[in-house]
Amino acid sequence: MTTTKHEFGEIQRKNMEAAMRLAQLSIDNSQRIMELQSQLARELFENSVEQTKLQAGSKDPQDIVRLRAQYAQETTQKMIAAAQQVAEIGNSARVEFSRLLTEQLAAGSQDMVDAFQTFFKALPGQNSNLLETMQQAMTNANTAFEQMRKAATNAFDSAGEVTKKAAAKGRK
């Protein structure tokens, strides 16, 4: 029974390590997005100051209209580029989350089966049907998770394509 407690403790430790890796990944991606937003805000502010000076120095109304249109176009392009970068960060985070979860489930399932085997072997009567049922349930859970992961991957890939197409239209 002590071995089983130790095995379940080890499973818990591995789950905690996986949770810490996921948390660190989330923090890293949040920092990347915040840096991107800060850089974009700084660039937009600098460009707006520059444009204000140019427009204030111009006496020709048509030149002012041209400068405003140019500024609007440049700003829009920067916003679209930033949105694409955020989408790429999100997509890479999703892929990494999925990989880590799949890895954890695969390793965790085997650890869990091993722990249950040890536990069931220690029980009086050693009902083999109970162990087979537990293994089948774990296999079914892994299969269901894999199907959900594939569906989520397809959905995010489709959303990424829609974003890229919309960004391409915005540049035209």
Query: In this structure, what DSSP letter does residue 146 have?
Result: H
How far is the C-alpha of 26 from the C-alpha of 166, rounded, in Å? 27
pLDDT string in tens for the chain (172-residue length)? 555 677 777 777 877 888 888 889 889 999 999 999 999 999 999 999 999 999 999 999 999 999 999 999 999 999 999 999 998 888 888 888 877 777 777 676 666 666 666 666 665 565 566 667 767 777 777 777 778 777 777 777 776 676 667 666 655 5
**∠ CA(141), CA(147), CA(152), 5° rounding?**
125
Q: Are 117 and 131 within 8 A, CB to CB?
A: yes
Measured from the Cβ of residue 79, the count of other Cβ atoms closer than 10 Å reads 14
Q: What is the pLDDT of residue 96?
A: 84
Q: What is the pLDDT of residue 80?
A: 92
Q: What is the pLDDT of residue 60?
A: 92
Whether the model pTM is above 0.95: no
The domain of 126 spans: 2-171
Q: What is the pLDDT of residue 167?
A: 61
Please provide the distance, in angstroms rounded to a whole number, between the alpha carbons at the two ends of the chain. Answer: 69
Query: In this structure, what DSSP letter does residue 123 have?
Result: S
How many domains in the chain? 1
